[in-house]
A and B are shown apart, each in its own frame.
Chain A
Amino acid sequence: MRSPDLLRHAWTVASKDLLVEFRSRTAILSVAVFVVLVLVVFNFGRDATAVSNVDLAPSILWVTFTFAAILALNRAFQLELENQALEGLLLAPIDRSSIYLGKLIANLVFVSTIEVIGVPLVALFFNVPVIQYLGPLVLTIALATVGFVAIGTLFSAMTVRTRFAELLLPVLLLPFMILPLSWAVLATGRLLAGRPLSEIAGWLNMLAVYDFVFHSCGPSFPGDGERMRMLQVGRWITAVGLVLLAGVYVRALAYTPVEASQGLAQKIFYLHVPAAIWAETAMVLVGLASVFYLFTKDQRLDRFAAASAEVGTIFCAIVLTSGPIWGKPIWGTWWTWDARLTSTLFLFLLYAGYLLLRSAVTDPGARARFSAVLGICGMCEVPFIHLSVYMFPTLHPMPIVLQPGRPKLPGSMLATWLFSLGVFTLLYVGFVVQRYALSYLREQRESHA
């Protein structure tokens, strides 16, 4: 389809949604009231003597935007369910990319309106100065909003016809919103504290990369006839991830200070910990997809669970190889049977068992059901792995980033670690999209056979 047609059709879909909203104004008024109520609840749910307004305001601002945006995104496709309008939309002689793009534009307008209401209210209620930082603040909000609305519109399209769509959307979306939200909170916090713009440039760059990647994968995702495009998008995201991984190597090795007590071996941290986070998160996502699969029997959830499990196995393998290489110079041994190491090994064996089970059962329905049960069991193990350092005596260090309170890392080390976490997130998304498309291709081949 030619670009002018794509944009024209997208604008038709967007203007239809905006016109519906303009005529009723129900959703925008409801969400505006919701924003006010959330801010009031935050105001009474804090101890003003413990944390200053300027420190707290960025978190309040972004948590409020997140909740309000999820409400807005939920209604994007729900709107079409009335009177079977979704079928009419899908039957229209337009490319599905233009439907996605139209919904994206409408959602951006909707969420931006909420933000226009929210920012002055936060300034008013929490007495924070925003006028003098308005330009950079608007840029930060715009970059973060464009990213999470893109991925939110995509997930909204995927979940609209599932049962529990209102619950499934935040469950799928929130893990992907954590990164842009953390970057946005850090940038907003520094802005409101009057720090120079150069300090937030890194976060803004990361937000721009996030936007670029998720806007590229969005239009290509839905639709059974678009396996090849999905595969290509997955390859493209992976390629960007691998190039950025080289950037992580350069930044970690050349531009991040050496830790004095552990020496150069400490730099393994920048690869080991992001891989561990995604090894655990991948299993949580397998479990959540499995829970919803058992209720809905939606094959897309089973495909996603299979893809996430395979990618989780790869990240777990990284943890189990980089960990001992780090442990040898620091602990004096490659391996010790302590709680964290042993439970991570169990996680790897669980992944391996899950993949073996999938390959052993030939009936697709039984395979999906059995592996869903195993996936849910695997998800239940993840909190024990993460908390094992608190529950048992162990050689493994306590968490220094994902722990209550501020991260115990100097700023430059934290920046490198967050950069690496972003790159591992990209790689996870790229791998899962490719593996998901591969499942499609295999099912096509099996059905032809």
Chain B
Amino acid sequence: MPENGGYMIAAYVVVGAILIGYSLSLYLRARRSLRA
């Protein structure tokens, strides 16, 4: 079986970062709109 677990970990980290990052972006944009 090929040894390529590092690629899998990298992909899971990147996907998690994108989704959490976008969630934070929505939260911050809404907060800014509410303050304005």
Contact = CB atoms under 8 A, between A and B. Distances in A.
A321 B36 CA distance: 35
B4 to A, nearest CB: 4
B7 A328 contact: yes
24 contacts: A235-B26, A242-B23, A260-B1, A262-B2, A263-B4, A263-B5, A264-B5, A265-B2, A265-B5, A265-B8, A267-B12, A268-B7, A268-B8, A268-B11, A271-B11, A271-B15, A314-B22, A318-B14, A318-B18, A322-B15, A325-B7, A329-B2, A438-B26, A441-B33
Contacts of A258: 1
Contacts of A318: 14-15, 18-19
Contacts of A406: none
Interface residues of B, number: 25
Interface string B1-36: 111110110111011101110110011011001101
Contacts of B11: 268, 271-272, 321-322, 325-326
A235 B19 contact: no
A220 interface: no
Contacts of B27: 235
Taking residues whose C-beta sits less than 8 angstroms from the other chain, chain A's interface range is 35 or more
Nearest to B12: A249
B20 to A, nearest CB: 7
Contacts of A442: 33
B32 to A, nearest CB: 9
A263 B2 contact: yes
A407 B2 CA distance: 25
A431 interface: yes
Main secondary structure of the interface of A (DSSP, over half): helix
Interface in A329-344: 329
B8 A317 contact: no
Given A267-B12, A321-B15, A326-B11, 9 more contacts: A245-B16, A263-B4, A264-B4, A264-B7, A265-B2, A321-B11, A431-B23, A437-B30, A441-B33
A271 B30 CA distance: 27
Q: Which of A249, A260, A265 has the most CB of B within 10 A?
A: A265
Nearest to B5: A264
Contact of A434 (B2, B10, B18, B30): B30
A317 B11 CA distance: 12
A251 B5 CA distance: 16
A441 B36 CA distance: 10
Contacts of A263: 1-5
A96 interface: no
A245 B19 contact: yes
A438 B16 contact: no
A264 B12 CA distance: 12
Contacts of A101: none
Interface string A423-449: 000010001001101100110010000
Nearest to B1: A263
Contact of A314 (B12, B18, B30): B18
